[in-house]
Amino acid sequence: MAVAILVPGGGGLLGTELSRVCPPGDLLVAPKSHELDVTDPETTAAELGRFVAAAARRRLPAVVINAAAYTDTDAAESDRHRAFQVNALGPGHLAAACRAHGVPLVHVSTDYVFDGTAGEPYEPSAPANPLNVYGQSKLAGERAVLGSGARAWVVRTAWVYANHSANFVRTMARLEQERAEVSVVDDQTGSPTSAGDLASGLLSLAAHVAEGAGPSARLLHYVNTGRASWYELAREVFAHLGADPRRVRPCTSAEFGSPAARPACSVLSVRAWVEAGLPVPRPWTAALPEVVASLPDRGQAAAAT
Least separation, in Å, of the C-beta of 67 and ligand NAP? Answer: 5
Phi/psi of residue 189, each to 5°?
-120, 140
Residue nearest to ligand NAP (CB): 12
Maximum separation of any 2 CA atoms in the chain, in Å: 57
Residue closer to ligand NAP (CB basis): 70 or 231: 70
Q: Which residue is catalytic, options 134, 161, 222, 231?
A: 134
Q: CA-CA distance, 86 to 40, in Å (whole number)?
A: 10
Q: Tell the burial category of 54 from Cβ atoms under 10 Å away from its Cβ (0-12, 13-18, 19+).
A: middle
Residues with Cβ within 8 Å of 81's Cβ and at least 6 positions away in sequence, in order, are none
CB 69 within 8 A of CB 11: no
Q: Which residues bind ligand NAP (CB under 6 A)?
A: 8-9, 11-15, 33, 36-39, 67-71, 86, 90, 108, 110, 138, 157-160, 165
Ramachandran angles phi, psi of 198, nearest 5°: -60, -45
- Answer yes or no: are the C-beta atoms of 109 and 65 closer than 8 Å: no
Q: State yes or no: is 70 an active-site residue.
A: no
Q: Which is nearer to ligand NAP, 151 or 156 (CB)?
A: 156
CB of 115 to ligand NAP, least distance (A): 15
In the chain, how many H helices and how many E strands? Answer: 13, 12
Q: How far is the CB of 52 from ligand NAP (least distance, A)?
A: 18
C-beta of 61 vs 194, nearer to ligand NAP: 194
What is the closest distance, in whole angstroms, from the C-beta atom of residue 152 to ligand NAP in the complex? 14
How crowded is the C-beta side of 297, counted as CA atoms within 13 Å? 14
Q: How many CB atoms lie within 10 A of CB 120?
A: 9
d(CA 93, CA 84): 13
Which 3 state secondary structure label does DSSP give 66? Answer: strand
Instruction: Name 265's bridge partners.
Output: 189
Shortest gap between Cβ of 178 and ligand NAP (angstroms)? 22
CB closer to ligand NAP, 18 vs 61: 18
Indicate the residue among 11 and 245 with the shorter CB distance to ligand NAP: 11
Catalytic residues: 134
